[in-house]
Amino acid sequence: MIRRLLIGLVAGLALAIAAPAQAATITVQINARSFSPANVTLNHGDRITWHNNDRTQHQVVANDGSFASPILDPGKTFTFTFNRAGTYHYHDAYRTATRGTITVKGPPPSMTFVLDQPIVTFGTSITLSGQVSSQNANESVEIDAQPYGQASPVQLAIVKTGATGTFSYATTPNLYTTYVAHWGAVSSGQLLVQVAPKVQLLYGGGYFKAQVTGGKSFWHNHVYLQRLSQFGQWVNVAALNLGPNSGRIFHASAYLPRGVSHIRVFLSVNQAGLGLLSAHSGTQTVRK
């Protein structure tokens, strides 16, 4: 009787050990200049909740594009569940020097899928890459893309793996786009790429030209001519309407005070349109 009881207790203990642990949630505070804690180790399936503990906005962005929070106002939170083992490096989009690392314990992923640039200027190529867990060559990996406004993903390419099961594909997104890789029945997580129009401020013949390039016409939209103030802030001094070729020629001194001015042109997110980020040109120096 006692032996049967002991066997029952050992069996019950083994089942308790084998049973999957409940997913944990770890809170990371976003402070003015740091994440606290900055380095977190957690189990496969656990969650992290980032809490904006500062008085200004912040945004949590993974370096490889595997996750990104919305812009977090003071007091707001963002939660992400880590279903793939590995090491994740991330940063604050508002203060890139603020960084953190997450180590997720668990079995190796069946397929990795990363990108080299989560935010690009229009016309810039990105590289999507990964590795299948078999590490076999000549495996077929399908890469799907879903640009902003498109109802569902479409096949972008089918690539073959190399000698160690690795694969890569270069593409140039025109809009905010999500990418997913499929290897047999295995699907990767989504990768997010955001695109900003290319904004240029060119000078020649005594005139400046503001030029916007973004895969569509920006005719009737406008850019702001901005001047750097003595306090280090960019101040709008004029709204410049763009012409049929998405450009505008203007005489900068007409809008500037006497002396030396540092100027640029800025395209707001509203003027950029859906699926594009705001953008600005490089800086030019003008003496009036």
Which pair of structure tokens corresponds to residue 163? 């000698």
Which pair of structure tokens corresponds to residue 263? 């100027």
Tell me whether residue 164 is exposed, middle or buried, using C-beta atoms within 10 angstroms of its C-beta: 0 to 12, 13 to 18, 19 or more.
Answer: exposed
pLDDT at 129 over 70: yes
Q: What's the whole-model pTM score?
A: 0.60
- Written as one letter, the residue type at 262 is H
How many CA atoms, within 13 angstroms, populate the side-chain half-sphere of residue 253? 9
Which pair of structure tokens corresponds to residue 127? 């590289």
- Written as one letter, the residue type at 142 is E
Q: What is the mean pLDDT of the chain?
A: 90
CA distance 53 to 70: 15
E strand or H helix at 264: strand 260-267
Please report, in angstroms and rounded to a whole number, the separation of the first and last CA atoms in the chain.
Answer: 101
Residues 94, 96, 101, 102, CA torsion sign:
positive
pLDDT band at 94 (very low <50, low <70, confident <90, very high): very high
The domain made up of 197-287 has a fold known as Immunoglobulin-like (2.60.40)
How many C-beta atoms surround the C-beta of residue 2 within 10 A?
Answer: 6
CA distance 103 to 87: 5
Which pair of structure tokens corresponds to residue 74? 């003071």
Cα–Cα separations (whole angstroms), residue 59 to 25, 35, 143, 148, 158: 19, 12, 28, 20, 33
**Domain spanning 111-195: CATH 2.60.40.1930:** yes
Residue 8 or residue 282, greater confidence: 282
pLDDT at 183 over 50: yes
Which pair of structure tokens corresponds to residue 63? 């370096």
Residues 200, 204, 208, 209, CA torsion sign:
negative
pLDDT band at 106 (very low <50, low <70, confident <90, very high): confident
Contact status, residue 180 vs residue 157, Cβ threshold 8 Å: no
Mean pLDDT value of segment 129-137: 92
Tens-digit pLDDT profile for residues 217-270: 999 999 999 999 999 999 999 999 999 999 999 999 999 999 999 999 999 999
Please report, for the chain, how many H helices and E strands are present, in that order: 2, 25
Same CATH fold assignment for domains 25-105 and 111-195: yes
Tens-digit pLDDT profile for residues 5-34: 333 322 332 333 333 457 899 999 999 999
How many CA atoms, within 13 angstroms, populate the side-chain half-sphere of residue 146? 12
On the question of a cis peptide bond just before residue 37, with omega within 30 degrees of 0, the verdict is yes
CA distance 82 to 103: 10
Tens-digit pLDDT profile for residues 36-70: 999 999 988 899 999 999 999 999 999 999 999 99
CA distance 136 to 277: 39
Q: For the structural domain made of 25-105, what CATH number should be given?
A: 2.60.40.420
The residue extents of the domains of the chain are: 25-105, 111-195, 197-287
